[in-house]
């Protein structure tokens, strides 16, 4: 996992003000909730008293209540109430949970995973124009798979595996019929055309100026029939976003680390431009993306995951793959990921002397133990304007096999 990054962790609409949402992300248990005004709070889920999971607790006004003994914690992480000690009790300052900076962007909740920084030093949440400027209707769904996120990302950075992985399930015939078949043959030649397209041509990789986004365009075609060609544009933005665009479909995936063995796939499927002139009613236009998401979750994606589960090593990194020329985007991803890991491990420059607007940045603490160093809770308003805040979090651990 790459430290000092914003990671999307869940759809924003899943976080409510009447019930906490417990998740596991980045190798740690967290809890999300909203206060009465709708402000978003993200905290470590373990009650410091006896380790109960606050995700199993309840909301009590602007606090979250531990399900075990009723301890209540505010948005700043401090314990406010200990029922067993009475209303006038002096609460130890050590009874607090870590609080993390969060933002709401693009319909998702993003959590800062990295070292402690002043709010003004936190970088913006990045996404390419394919996401920020996209005005299409879409549907979003998420699910968990037992693979490392690097392997999951690699599977979406190239599509020449599809001929061999997605060929035998009966439900794939819907894909053949609708996406690859020709109208003159009523789509019945779809499977034949799908299996015949095995060659990658016209491939080109570009890295955008900020060095965080890679764009890969190529044609997936039948060697002896250039009319049987699908043009792909794949856009990757660190740490974990893959956008895929073809004439047939358009999707955005966020492959979010749960831990070193599991990944959360947040998949957004956009409406089909082909049917837009026919289906004028928005709810009807969302039905096809929803249907595509369910097919992806239960048919297509499991076919990929069965392969990924048996890959070795489990974590991809430099030197573990023997790439061929058409794997240039995979190779670029691996090299850029190694650089980001190295950059995150390097000490940050201290603030200039006398600069009152900036604080020295401390190295990551060895374990979560408190809230923001400036006392500000890590929050974001319901409208997505984060108040920021710093935090003391667990020192990010590099993937052992991925160290450059």
Tokens of 350: 């201290």
Which residue stretches of 113-231 are H helix?
Answer: 129-132, 149-156, 162-165, 172-175, 190-196
Q: What is the pLDDT of residues 220-270, one digit of tens each?
A: 988 888 888 889 999 999 999 999 999 889 999 999 999 999 999 999 999
Model pLDDT, residue 10: 96
Please give the structure tokens belonging to residue 401.
């096999």
Q: Can you tell me the distance from the alpha carbon of 254 to that of 252, in angstroms, rounded to the nearest whole number? A: 7
* H-run or E-run covering 284: helix 282-295
> What is the band of 358 on the pLDDT scale with cuts at 50, 70, 90?
very low
- Band (pLDDT 50/70/90 cuts) for residue 350 is low
**Residue 195 DSSP symbol:** H
With a pLDDT cut of 70, the percent of the chain lying above it is 85
Reported as a single tens digit per residue, the pLDDT across 263-314 is 999 999 999 887 877 777 888 888 989 999 999 999 999 999 999 999 999 9
Given a cut of 90, whether residue 388 has pLDDT beyond it is no
| Predicted confidence (pLDDT) per residue in 42-58, tens digit | 999 999 999 999 999 99
For residue 306, the model assigns a pLDDT of 95
Task: Please say if the pLDDT value at position 364 is more than 70.
Answer: no
The model's pTM is 0.83
Average model confidence (pLDDT) across the chain: 84
Q: Work out the burial of residue 271: count CB atoms within 10 Å of its CB; fewer than 13 is exposed, 13-18 middle, 19 or more buried.
A: buried
Contacts 24+ apart (CB under 8 A), 163-172: 163/194, 163/195, 163/197, 163/198, 165/303, 165/304, 165/307, 166/300, 166/303, 167/191, 167/194, 167/195, 169/299, 169/303, 171/295, 171/299, 172/299, 172/300
**Dihedral of the alpha carbons of 371, 372, 376, 380, in degrees to the nearest 10:** -90
Per-residue pLDDT reduced to its tens digit, 125-183: 988 899 999 999 999 999 999 999 999 999 999 988 988 888 777 777 777 776 677 77
Average pLDDT score over residue span 66-76: 96
Q: What are 198's strand-pairing partners?
A: none
pLDDT given for residue 171 in this prediction: 75
Q: What is the DSSP letter of 306?
A: H
Q: What is the rounded CA–CA span in Å between residue 214 and residue 336?
A: 10
Strand partners, 266: 142, 254
Helix (H, G, I), strand (E, B) or coil at 56: helix
- 208 alpha-carbon distance from chain centroid: 20
Residue with tokens 């248990």: 29
Distances (CA, A) of 51 to 27, 46, 71, 290: 16, 5, 12, 38
Q: What is the CA radius of gyration of the chain?
A: 23
Angstrom distance (rounded) from CA 263 to CA 316: 14
Judged by average pLDDT, the poorest of 169-173, 206-210, 369-373 is 369-373
pLDDT at 260: 93
Confidence at residue 172, expressed as pLDDT on a 0 to 100 scale:
74
């Amino acid at each position: 996992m790459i430290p000092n990054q914003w990671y999307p962790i869940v759809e924003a609409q899943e976080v409510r003000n009447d019930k906490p949402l417990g998740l596991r992300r980045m190798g740690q248990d967290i809890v999300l909730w909203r206060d009465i005004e709708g402000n978003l709070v993200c905290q470590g889920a373990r009650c410091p008293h006896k380790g109960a999971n606050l995700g199993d607790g309840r909301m009590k006004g602007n606090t979250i209540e531990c399900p075990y003994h009723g301890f209540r914690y505010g948005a700043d992480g401090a314990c406010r109430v200990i029922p067993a000690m009475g209303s006038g009790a002096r609460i130890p300052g050590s009874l607090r949970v870590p609080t993390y900076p969060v933002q709401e962007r693009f319909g998702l909740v993003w959590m800062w995973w990295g070292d402690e920084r002043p709010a003004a030093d936190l970088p913006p949440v990045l996404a390419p124009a394919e996401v920020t400027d996209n005005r299409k209707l879409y549907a979003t769904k998420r699910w968990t798979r037992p693979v490392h996120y690097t392997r999951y990302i690699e599977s979406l950075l190239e599509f020449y595996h599809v001929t061999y992985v997605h060929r035998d399930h009966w439900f794939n015939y819907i894909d053949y019929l609708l996406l690859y078949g020709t109208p003159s043959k009523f789509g019945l030649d779809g499977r034949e055309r799908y299996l015949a397209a095995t060659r990658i041509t016209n491939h080109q990789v570009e890295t955008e100026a900020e060095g965080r986004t890679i764009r890969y365009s190529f044609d997936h075609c039948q060697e002896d029939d250039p009319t049987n060609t699908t043009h792909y544009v794949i856009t990757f933005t660190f740490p974990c976003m893959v956008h895929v665009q073809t004439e047939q479909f358009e999707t955005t995936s966020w492959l979010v680390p749960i831990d070193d063995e599991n990944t959360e796939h947040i998949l957004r499927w956009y409406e089909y431009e082909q049917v837009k002139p026919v289906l004028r009613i928005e709810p009807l236009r969302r039905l096809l993306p929803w249907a595509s998401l369910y097919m992806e979750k239960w048919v297509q994606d499991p076919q990929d995951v069965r392969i990924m589960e048996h890959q070795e090593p489990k974590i991809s990194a430099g030197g573990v793959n023997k790439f061929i020329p058409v794997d240039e985007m995979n190779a670029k991803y691996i090299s850029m990921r190694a650089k980001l890991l190295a950059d995150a491990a390097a000490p940050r420059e201290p603030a200039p002397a006398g600069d009152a607007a900036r604080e020295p940045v401390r190295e990551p603490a060895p374990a979560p133990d408190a809230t923001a160093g400036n006392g500000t809770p890590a929050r974001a308003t319901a409208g997505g304007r984060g108040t920021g805040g710093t935090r003391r979090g667990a020192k990010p651990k590099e993937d052992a096999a991925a160290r450059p």
